[in-house]
Amino acid sequence: MPNVSVYNMAGEVVGTMALADAIFGADINAAVLHAATRAYLLNQRQGTQSTLTRSEVSGGGRKPWRQKGTGRARQGSTRSPQWTHGGIALGPKPRSYRTDLNKKTKRIALFSALSAKVAEGKLIVMDDIKCNEYKTKTMTAMLKALGVDSRALIVLPEVNNFTVKSCANIQKVETCIAGTINVYSILKADKMIITAAAVKKLEEVYVK
């Protein structure tokens, strides 16, 4: 069972916390992490890109010149793909990139991502993150006290608009709640900052 230090917003160690082995001490499955990351990125695609085919561009109804006797190659339309302003051959059309993973695979991927953060020493557990006003300065001071100067993910037990808005203008800092955490955001972050209450929520949901 991994044990980690618990910090306050001033960057001081105020205790320790034992993390559940099932979630934070699981075997790291690189193949499943790859599948989960790929699925997440595919599902972010809108799939609205589109090009016009020769039947959709305007003009080209008249044969540009007669079939034989001109010495030039035969042409049936000025809107064929080889012509300037012609249609696009085999171009993209709107489509869905949606892909799904089964529940077991999603769970393994989440546990692998969280366990990787613990193994690398990149998980920071906080006793609480309180911001009672919209104050970016409060959150930047906390990050500085914790020694976080790169991409970070802050995980809260529930939505706190003061905290979320206070982090919104900080470059490379994301916030989420424990119930919506995803593998891609965990892996992308150099440091993961999570409150003790958010850890408890994850353990309540996944540890039986």
Q: Which pLDDT belongs to residue 208?
A: 65
Domain extent listing, the chain: 3-44+100-206, 51-91
What's the whole-model pTM score?
0.83
What is the rounded CA–CA span in Å between residue 128 and residue 12? 12
Which ranges of the chain have pLDDT less than 50? Answer: none
What is the rounded CA–CA span in Å between residue 91 and residue 107? 37
Structure tokens at 195: 């409150």
pLDDT exceeding 90 applies to what percent of the chain? 91
Question: SS in 3 state form for the chain?
Answer: CCEEEEECCCCCEEEEEECCHHHHCCCCCHHHHHHHHHHHHHHCCCCCCCCCCCCCCCCCCCCCCCCCCCCCCCCCCCCCCCCCCCCCCCCCCCCCCCCCCCHHHHHHHHHHHHHHHHHCCCEEEECCCCCCCCCHHHHHHHHHHHCCCCCEEEEECCCCHHHHHHHCCCCCEEEEEHHHCCHHHHHHCCEEEEEHHHHHHHHHHHCC
Q: Which pLDDT belongs to residue 2?
A: 81
Spatial strand order in the sheet of 173-177: 13-18, 3-7, 123-126, 191-195, 152-156, 173-177
Per residue in 80-135, pLDDT (tens digit) is: 999 999 999 999 999 999 999 999 999 999 999 999 999 999 999 999 998 888 99
Decide: 80 and 61 in contact? Cβ < 8 Å.
Answer: no
Q: Which CATH class name applies to 3-44+100-206?
A: alpha beta
Residue 74, Cα to own-chain centre: how many angstroms?
51
Structure tokens at 52: 């016009």
The CB-side HSE value for 116 (13 A sphere, CA atoms) comes to 19
